[in-house]
Amino acid sequence: MSPSKNNLWHQNARASLKEANSCNEFFQTDVFENQSFPIKIPLEFANLIDKDNPNDPLLRQVISSKSKLKDPEFSLSPLEDDRHSPVSGLIHKYPNRVLLIASRVCAIHCQYCFRQNFDYQQHDAISNWIQVENYIINNSQINEVILSGGDPLSLSDDKLELLIGNIEKIKHIKTLRIHSRSAVVTPSRITDKLADILNNSKLSVVLVLHTNHMRELSEQFASVVNKLDGITLLNQSVLLKGVNDSLESLSTLSLRLFSLGILPYYLHLLDKVSGTEHFLVSDKRAKQLHKELKANLSGYLVPKLVRDKNTESKVWL
């Protein structure tokens, strides 16, 4: 029996590339190695990669072999999430908003990820929901809940509906923000049911996508993103050497995002996680690129250049 449109993404997730040999065979290369941060590449993303280009910017993001460069500034966990976590699964840094770790699962494993060594067992907002809910209820200055992970859109539509319904019941919450990469790398995730849940929420919903390169915004994505016409769409990127560290790459990304109704929001400097040294763009180069972007694009197309200090804590450059 063929899967319904609402369930196709589950089937696509199961078909993701997850092992070095199959990746090396698929991409006709030998650069993949099995590592502690496992490989995961959805076929919808893998099929966008130019197999004839060993430096393809999409391929570079998922190659699992770690950097041979060793820099003492890089550590297993550069962000101190625990210091701002009053209850498991919830991070509270700024008075008006909290971030929930809603899922440990991602549609893709980005090899520059700052959470690749994160202890998700200690941070699970769903299994600790009663405590999380009580914390939010007892802190009436909180008006925004951010769903993060992992990727919150790796939850099923039914689980997401239940979670959002529970958040909507808390009277002082007005805004729901969702951080997701899966909507871009697996466009089949944007189901009709998901669109209904988000478009018809009582809350103001902001979906912050994570896209690093214009080619990730495929025709398939373009054909489904317009279902999300009742919410605000923003994008955040990570500035990555060999992926998007040029004026042309960043400009075309901003223009493509805007043509799809998505505003560029943040351009993050790399979080210094061990093994990701080869992705680092220096501060000096990052500031130069940002200056060139400002000179070449309208202001609303220029993302803010930021460095994460802690989860939900940013320094503008």
Q: Which residues bind ligand SF4 (CB under 6 A)?
A: 106, 108-110, 113, 115, 149-151, 181, 210
| 8 Å CB contact between 287 and 316 | no
Please report which residue ranges of 190-282 form alpha helices under DSSP H: 192-199, 219-225, 247-259
Closer of 40 and 142 to ligand SF4 (Cβ) = 40
Closer of 191 and 237 to ligand SF4 (Cβ) = 237
Q: Which amino acid is at 10?
A: H
* DSSP tag of 259: H
CB of 60 to ligand SF4, least distance (A): 14
Closer of 173 and 279 to ligand SF4 (Cβ) = 279
Closer of 113 and 167 to ligand SF4 (Cβ) = 113
CB of 149 to ligand SF4, least distance (A): 6
CB of 110 to ligand SF4, least distance (A): 3
Closer of 210 and 290 to ligand SF4 (Cβ) = 210
| Tokens of residue 24, six digits | 């090396």
Buried b (16+ CB within 10 A) or exposed e, 258-273: beeebebbbbbbbbbb
CB of 258 to ligand SF4, least distance (A): 23
Residue 241 has, within 13 A of its CA and on its CB side, a CA count of: 12
| 8 Å CB contact between 41 and 17 | yes
Q: What angle is formed at CA 84 by the lines to CA 83 and CA 87, rounded to 5 degrees? A: 105
The side-by-side arrangement of strands in the sheet containing 90-94 is 90-94, 97-103, 144-149, 175-180, 204-210, 232-238, 263-268, 304-310, 313-316
Please report which residue ranges of 260-311 form alpha helices under DSSP H: 283-296
Closer of 144 and 271 to ligand SF4 (Cβ) = 271
**Distances, alpha carbon 46 to alpha carbons 14, 41, 50, 182, 241, in Å:** 14, 6, 9, 13, 20
CB of 17 to ligand SF4, least distance (A): 14
Closer of 110 and 198 to ligand SF4 (Cβ) = 110
Report how far residue 96's alpha carbon sits from residue 90's, in angstroms, rounded to the nearest whole number.
Answer: 13
Q: Is 90 helix (H, G, I), strand (E, B) or coil?
A: strand
CB of 196 to ligand SF4, least distance (A): 24
CB of 239 to ligand SF4, least distance (A): 13
CB of 153 to ligand SF4, least distance (A): 10
Closer of 149 and 303 to ligand SF4 (Cβ) = 149
